[in-house]
Amino acid sequence: MRFGDKLNRHLKGLLAVACLCLAPWVNAESLVPFKVHDVRVEGLQRLPVERVYAELPIQAGDTVDRDQIVDAVQRLFATGNFEDVQLGRDGDDLVVIVAERPSIARIELSGNKSIDEENLRKGLTEAGLAEGEVFQRSTLQAIAGELERQYVSQGRYGADIKTESVPLPRNRVALKIEIYEGKAARIRDINIVGNDLFDDEELLKDFELNSTGFWSFIKGDDKYSRQKLSGDLERLRSYYLDRGYINFSIESTQVSVTPDRRSVFITVNVAEGEQYTVNEVKLAGDLVVAEEQLEPLLIVKKGQVFSQQLVTYTNDLLKRRLGNEGYTFAEVNGRDHNANDEDNTVDVTFYVEPGRKVYVRRINFSGNAKTDDEVLRRELRQFEQAPANTSLVDLSRQRLQRLGYFSVVEADTPRVPNSEDLVDVEYKVEEQPSGSIGANVGFSDASGFIFGANVTQNNWRGSGNRVSFALSRSDIRDSYSFSHYNPYYTLDGVSRGFSLFYSKIDFDETSVASYAADRLGGSVTFGYPISEYSRLSFGGTYEQTDITTGDFVAVDIFNFLEKEGT
């Protein structure tokens, strides 16, 4: 609570005591302790009387003095529900007179474009301004000030926030927040001072902000934003650190606004320092993995120009290697130390803190409303009760993604509460359509009316099996097909697929061909996994074809049928 609020409430408490002493229905006996016969509450409009009784530390039968009265007033004020609280004595009755703060009936927003209304209302709710809540004017004023600061951080220096509270019946108010955002100030120039090694053009190339140019009206890169400037300064710092300038620093940053608040000038003062090379690279700390296994992962080498990017990359490689051994929460910190200013060299030491080896307690899935858990679990390479392995967790995530059933697959390894060596593996998926359905209707002079339909589902009823069937019918030809594929026909991942097909031509109804062939058959295929993403498949097909000839058959066809039969 701010000092001003405390002072305000304290003064109100003293005022209530003064009113107690000066009230016309209070006699001299009120200045001495008295026993309360009953407690009455007056002035309530919306709140139930039970709310007051719950906060009031005085009940019928209590003997009260002035200190208890002051405490009661302060407690009722502390609820934030009342603008005024008075306590008085009417005979042996304690009378509580309150003036309620109004409640917020609705909040009307207008003029906000750069800040999404949903996010804006969420922020208002978190600050205590929401429909149904008790209205406090100080909160509304603070929100208006914060909104102005938010717009200034976006470069909208002309932003103006107007607030109004409109009284409504039954002690309610409607809040109106009118926002004039103004135009974002345009960046007239960005100037870097102190850079002798690299020119402004090179350094500004990776900046998100830019001075007004030909394409700025499309890109919007000349609109000033405090957050974007902070990101650009961090990129500038990384640019120098990745090139060996370990003593680089940004001395100051000035943002100047023109009197009309439409243009911004940015000046960044830097100190480049000297370029350093790597002298020695070492590992330190608790090396739970043999040093000779970690050394090949040290991308930073002696004689190289120092690069913070390579240090960070090496940190990640070492952490991943430790994670593969079950040290999921290992920390690796590569730091430059022992900088030698005489020959501009620096030693780099990677400090390893493996922490405790952790095991997987449980693997959970969320988001798979249609797909069975079994379908997901058979793709996993990280198992429960086994040491947590970063590579296996990630490989499992990739295998789930390759199924094609999910648009998003995310993996997380939160610690088990009250345990230092257990984690859960959480896979969050978002399902996507994994099948198709189609139909066609047409007419042909040769075939007459044609009707066709087909259905393909790669995750049939969440089982992970692929099923498809199709049919086509016309006056002269009928065709049907069905196929089924089970990627886990056996527990060790041997797949099996089979298909059936049938087609028949009514030769009596057409004269467009000299022969017709009716087909009936099926096939079966087995696949054996030979790697994480490849399998060797083999199978066979049986097909029976019956041929019917017409009156005018080609000689080659006639000779073939004479030799082979129909």
What is the second-level CATH architecture of the domain 435-564? Answer: Beta Barrel (2.40)
Extents of the domains making up the chain:
3-100, 103-180, 186-271, 277-353, 359-431, 435-564
What six digits make up the tokens of 353? 């803190």
What six digits make up the tokens of 260? 């009309």
C-alpha angle 272/274/276, rounded to 5°?
125
Domain spanning 3-100 has what CATH number? 3.10.20.310
Helix H segments across 324-416? Answer: 373-377, 390-402
186-271: CATH topology: Ubiquitin-like (UB roll) (3.10.20)
C-alpha angle 190/191/192, rounded to 5°?
125
Task: Give the mean pLDDT per block of 10 residues along the chain (566 residues).
Answer: 38 40 38 80 84 87 86 86 85 87 84 77 78 78 79 76 84 85 82 92 88 69 83 94 94 88 89 94 92 93 94 94 93 86 92 93 94 94 94 94 93 92 95 90 81 93 94 89 96 94 76 76 96 92 88 79 84
Q: Give the pLDDT score at 284.
A: 92
User: Left, alpha or beta for 320 (phi > 0: left; psi -120 to 50: alpha)?
Assistant: alpha
What six digits make up the tokens of 417? 């509460």
Which amino acid, one-letter code, is at 348? Answer: V
Q: Which residues does 398 contact at the CB level (< 8 Å), separation at least 6? A: none
Inter-residue contact 250 to 237 (CB < 8 Å): yes
User: Measured between alpha carbons, how far is 102 from 82 in angstroms, rounded to an integer?
Assistant: 9
Q: Which residues does 425 contact at the CB level (< 8 Å), separation at least 6? A: 360, 362, 363, 364, 382, 388, 393, 411, 412, 413
| Residue 90 CB neighbour total at 10 angstroms | 15
What is the second-level CATH architecture of the domain 277-353? Answer: Roll (3.10)
0.75 cut: is pTM over it?
no
Look-up of token digits 């995530």: 397
Count H helices and E strands in the chain, helices first.
13, 24
User: Measured between alpha carbons, how far is 373 from 375 in angstroms, rounded to an integer?
Assistant: 5
Look-up of token digits 């693997």: 363
User: Left, alpha or beta for 483 (phi > 0: left; psi -120 to 50: alpha)?
Assistant: beta
Which amino acid, one-letter code, is at 25? Answer: W
User: Measured between alpha carbons, how far is 535 from 487 in angstroms, rounded to an integer?
Assistant: 11
User: Measured between alpha carbons, how far is 250 from 116 in angstroms, rounded to an integer?
Assistant: 34
DSSP 209-248: -----TTHHHH-TTB--HHHHHHHHHHHHHHHHTTT-TT-
Q: Give the pLDDT score at 508.
A: 62
**Burial letters 469-490, b for 16+ CB under 10 A, else e:** bbbbebebbebebebebbbbee
Q: What distances in angstroms separate CA 357 from CA 55, 220, 315, 361, 426, one per listed residue?
A: 51, 49, 19, 13, 19
What is the second-level CATH architecture of the domain 359-431? Answer: Roll (3.10)
Same fold, 3-100 and 277-353: yes
Domain spanning 103-180 has what CATH number? 3.10.20.310
